[in-house]
Homo-oligomer: A and B are copies of this chain.
Amino acid sequence: MTNTVISSRTKDVVIGFEQPFRVIGERINPTGRKLLAEEMKNGDYSRVEADALAQVAAGAHILDVNAGIPLADEPAILAKCIKLVQSITDVPLCIDSSILAALEAGLAVYEGKALLNSVTGEEERLEAVLPLVKKYGCAVIAISNDDSGISEDINVRFAVAKKILERAQDYGIPASDVIVDPLVMPIGAINSAGRQVMALVQRLRNELKVNTTCGASNLSFGLPNRNGLNTAFISMAIASGMTSAITNPLHAEIMQSVRGADVVMGHDAECSKWISLNRDPNAETRERRGKRGGRSRGRS
């Protein structure tokens, strides 16, 4: 039973086998968000602030912060965003960049124990990122691809994860501070993508005893009604033993699925959270939505 503790200045969040599923809010990321990228580049962080507050209000336990903007000073912008978000919320953050200097700039200003996103099994990345993880005593997301790319063979992806864990331990980083991302492939392209992830999550949990996370919405890439598919997938990943995911908490269906899955997993004691959340006006809204859906059954 593995627990990974991430913290802000004032708050610990535990990711673990017997914990409620942890939602890492993905919204603070300029990739594919032209307006946000433009604003961040020009030093306007009002949308970052709004996204942070909205995601926490929606129930995100951790917020991912990414400042990947072409031709911008990513390290400086990422550091600014992290200071800003930490000044207005108390949730721990996931520092997200493909650029080493940005990861370090973020870690340097972060107050608490961050989650670093990410290291892979690529030699260069291992040697660059793991010393940072050790230096700052943070936790890290390990993505199961390496110099040979992303394998469709889950045994290979399992082996890559195992290698990253061993290398982390060589640096004195405990396995409990490594959260493995088994990699979710688009199921529209690879029909077995869903079963691959579920099988891999079970093995990572049972054999390596590590926590897991994923970019949950990758599964539905290119398909219609992505929300509907993501909603089914996330509860199935939880049933398979996944303990966290990077996703969009502003989609009420996704959050309801996560909270329902917590109840089914026995991680909502006496269903008290479910009961309290569903005794508010939302419960009626959902009921009405259910009924409206029901009437269109002829085409459903």
Contacts and interface: CB of A to CB of B under 8 A. Distances in A.
Contacts of A283: 224-225
A281 B297 contact: no
A263 B294 contact: no
Most buried by B among A192, A195, A266: A266
Most buried by B among A229, A238, A249, A300: A300
Interface string A72-97: 00000000000000000000000000
A274 interface: yes
Nearest to A293: B252
B293 A285 contact: yes
A223 B292 CA distance: 21
Contacts of A195: 264-266
A135 interface: no
Interface in A245-271: 249-253, 255-257, 259-261, 263-266, 269-271
A227 interface: yes
A198 interface: yes
A294 B54 CA distance: 10
Contact of A239 (B198, B259, B279, B287): B198
Interface residues of A, number: 66
Contacts of A287: 225, 227
B281 A257 contact: no
Contact of A229 (B191, B251, B260, B282): B260
Interface in A37-69: 54, 57-59
Contacts of A279: 224
Nearest to A238: B236
Contact of A294 (B187, B219, B252, B290): B252
A229 B266 contact: no
A293 B260 contact: no
Interface of A: 54, 57-59, 187-188, 191-192, 194-195, 198, 219, 223-225, 227-229, 231-233, 235-236, 238-240, 249-253, 255-257, 259-261, 263-266, 269-271, 274-275, 277-283, 285-287, 289-290, 292-294, 296-300
Given A198-B239, A224-B279, A236-B264, 19 more contacts: A57-B298, A58-B300, A59-B297, A187-B263, A187-B266, A191-B270, A192-B266, A223-B263, A229-B274, A232-B257, A232-B259, A236-B236, A239-B239, A250-B294, A251-B293, A253-B290, A255-B300, A280-B299, A281-B299
* CB-based closest 10 A-B pairs: A252-B293, A232-B260, A194-B264, A236-B239, A58-B297, A224-B278, A225-B278, A239-B239, A232-B235, A227-B290
10 contacts: A58-B297, A58-B300, A219-B264, A223-B274, A227-B286, A227-B287, A231-B260, A235-B239, A253-B290, A282-B300
